[in-house]
């Protein structure tokens, strides 16, 4: 991001984030929720009912689970939970909004204030920055306009799919605290991770479970004067690449526009723009409406939600350790390397499975290594998550214990992990059953060692070891392992070879 030499420019970004909550039913009706995994592949316009369609005489009913999920997010972000919050109608016309209004929260949001600490880079122990949260309010999503038919066929015009209409939507609004595209992306990634670990959304970006709308302008200093370009809101970004690209483009575009027109922030100057992923440019959509343009008024069909201390405390008790705090604990208390800690935390269900192995008494570093090597390989092959492989936390612990006790080698541990994925038997019994227990008895191993040392083909390796080339011992150990069909304890074999060659 560059600027002409005679001026300085500072990027200012605030963020609005829409999170589709993964409740089983929609926000104000029992119709199935598209954002719930059971309904991802529903045919267009099959998750509708008279409430979704805005038929005359229908009445909305509040989804309590959606309210509690929103409270959970608000508490995790350090927000105050309002004692009383109400519902408002936000009126506007759009083809995918059957009622011609959206039920939202205008002046009494559920979650108020708050601070979210984010790392400002992907480095271990990166410095953090506090992002102020203005509010988080609950509303219903609109439907979706499709510009091609299901299956990809071209159409003349657009068609409407109302499956998404009525989905519980939590809108999180920040203060303009981002000074770079990188900070905005780090925030988005950290917020997605938080919401997934809280269990409120699947967070699948391609399905629109989280959509980001940065509000961008530039503060320009030139000739001792300060100028602020009009705020532009970029709508419905559903990838972090798009967030980064849109902010970078808009920064340069606003400076160029100011140099050409001198336009600055003022009444009626705000606008919304879309992002063209192919051309990597933003495109003007409309001049931004002010709140009064939406004709907000209290919804007459819905009662206010009153959150008492007991309800608030119960939701607070459901919060688990937050991802950033857990990452720090994994690194500084459990001794995991940064890369492994991040990998474990990338999937909430895998994180929970790892925690269960720790609760069973598994050594953390070895358990993590097993899950991320033996487990990840098989999960890839089977197209599932590590926690869905079939292995139990106590089996992981027992494999780790067998490896730590030198009763199985790394190759046998990998094989044993695979057997545990397909059997409920104890790991030790499966190791015995499949002949994976190492032979550590020197009496049994000496015959193999002597046979290898006496073989003419190994004369050079023997001479190298005697000459002080310790690395040559690996070839001799490998020969012993081959003779023992992989059952010999490599560590004991190495010691025996050293002893015999030093003695001879």
Q: Model confidence over 274-297: pLDDT tens digits? A: 999 999 999 999 876 666 778 999
Structure tokens at 296: 């907000």
Is pLDDT of 207 > 60? Answer: yes
Per-residue pLDDT at 486: 64
Crossing angle, helix 459-466 and helix 490-503, to 10 degrees?
Answer: 70
Tens-place pLDDT, residues 304-320: 999 999 999 999 999 99
Per-residue pLDDT at 81: 98
For 282, phi and psi rounded to 5 degrees? -95, 150
Is pLDDT of 14 > 90? Answer: yes
Tens-place pLDDT, residues 443-484: 556 666 667 666 765 666 667 667 667 676 777 767 767 766
For 356, phi and psi rounded to 5 degrees? -65, -35
Per-residue pLDDT at 444: 59
Structure tokens at 321: 């350790």
| Mean of pLDDT values over 296-304 | 95
**What domains, with CATH codes, occur in the chain?**
8-309 (no CATH), 321-433 (no CATH), 442-503 (1.10.10.410)
- Which range in 79-93, 144-158, 443-457 is most confidently predicted, on average pLDDT? 79-93
List of E strands, 277-342: 281-287, 297-298, 305-306
For 461: left if phi > 0, alpha if psi spans -120 to 50, otherwise beta; the answer is alpha
Look at residue 390 and give its three-state secondary structure. coil
446-451: long-range contacts at Cβ-Cβ below 8 A with a sequence spacing of 24 or more? 446/496, 448/480, 448/483, 448/484, 448/488, 448/493, 449/480, 449/493, 449/496, 449/497, 449/500, 450/500, 451/483
Per-residue pLDDT at 306: 98
Is pLDDT of 442 > 90? Answer: no
| Mean of pLDDT values over 11-28 | 98
Tens-place pLDDT, residues 386-423: 999 999 999 999 999 999 888 888 888 999 999 999 99
| DSSP character at residue 438 | P
The pLDDT mean for the chain works out to 90
Q: Is 400 in contact with 367 (CB distance < 8 Å)?
A: yes
Is pLDDT of 441 > 60? Answer: no
What is the Cα–Cα distance from 36 to 47, expressed in whole angstroms?
12
Q: How confident is the model at residue 267 (pLDDT cuts 50, 70, 90)?
A: confident
Other C-beta atoms closer than 10 Å to the C-beta of 244 total: 17
What is the Cα–Cα distance from 68 to 499, expressed in whole angstroms?
68
Structure tokens at 91: 């009126």
């Amino acid at each position: 991001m560059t600027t002409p030499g005679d001026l300085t420019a500072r990027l200012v970004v605030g963020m609005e984030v829409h999170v589709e909550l993964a409740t089983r039913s929609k926000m104000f009706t029992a119709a199935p929720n598209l954002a719930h995994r059971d309904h991802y592949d529903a045919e267009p316009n099959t998750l509708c009912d008279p409430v979704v369609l805005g038929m005359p005489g229908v009445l909305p009913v509040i989804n309590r689970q959606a309210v509690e999920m929103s409270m959970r997010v608000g508490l995790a972000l350090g927000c105050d939970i309002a004692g009383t919050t109400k519902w408002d109608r936000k009126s506007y016309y759009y083809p995918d909004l059957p009622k011609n209004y959206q039920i939202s929260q205008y002046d009494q949001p559920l979650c108020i204030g708050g601070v979210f600490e984010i790392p400002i880079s992907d480095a271990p122990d990166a410095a953090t920055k506090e992002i102020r949260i203005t509010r988080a309010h609950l509303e219903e999503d609109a439907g979706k306009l499709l510009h091609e038919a299901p299956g990809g066929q071209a159409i003349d015009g657009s068609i409407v799919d109302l499956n998404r209409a009525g989905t519980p939507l939590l809108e999180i609004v920040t203060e303009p605290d981002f000074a770079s595209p990188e900070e905005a992306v780090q925030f988005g990634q950290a917020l997605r991770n938080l919401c997934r670990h809280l269990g409120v959304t699947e967070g699948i970006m391609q399905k629109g479970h989280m959509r980001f709308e940065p509000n961008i302008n530039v503060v320009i200093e030139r000739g001792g004067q300060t100028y602020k370009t009009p705020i532009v809101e970029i709508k419905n970004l559903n990838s972090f690449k798009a967030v980064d690209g849109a902010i970078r483009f808009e920064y340069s575009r606003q400076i160029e526009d100011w140099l050409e027109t001198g336009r600055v922030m003022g009444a009626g100057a705000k606008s919304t723009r879309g992002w063209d992923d192919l051309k990597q440019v933003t495109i003007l959509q409309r001049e931004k409406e002010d709140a009064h343009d939406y004709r907000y008024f209290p919804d007459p069909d819905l009662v206010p939600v009153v959150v008492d201390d007991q309800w608030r405390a119960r939701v607070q008790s459901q919060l688990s350790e937050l991802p950033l705090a857990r990452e720090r604990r994994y690194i500084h208390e459990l001794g995991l390397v940064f890369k492994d800690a991040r990998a474990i935390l990338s999937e909430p269900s895998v994180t929970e499975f790892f925690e269960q192995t720790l609760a069973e008494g598994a050594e953390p570093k070895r358990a993590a290594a097993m899950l991320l090597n033996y487990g990840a390989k098989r999960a890839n092959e089977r197209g599932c998550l590590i926690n869905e492989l079939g292995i139990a936390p106590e089996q992981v612990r027992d494999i780790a214990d067998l490896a730590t006790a030198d009763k199985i080698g790394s190759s046998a541990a990998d094989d044993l992990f695979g057997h545990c994925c397909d059997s409920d038997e104890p790991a030790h019994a499966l190791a015995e059953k499949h002949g994976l227990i190492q032979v550590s008895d020197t009496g049994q191993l000496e015959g193999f060692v002597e046979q290898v040392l006496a073989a003419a083909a190994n004369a050079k390796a023997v001479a190298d070891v005697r000459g002080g080339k310790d690395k040559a011992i690996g070839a001799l150990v490998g020969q012993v392992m081959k003779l023992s069909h992989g059952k010999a304890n490599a560590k004991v074999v190495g010691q025996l070879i050293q002893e015999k060659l030093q003695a001879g």
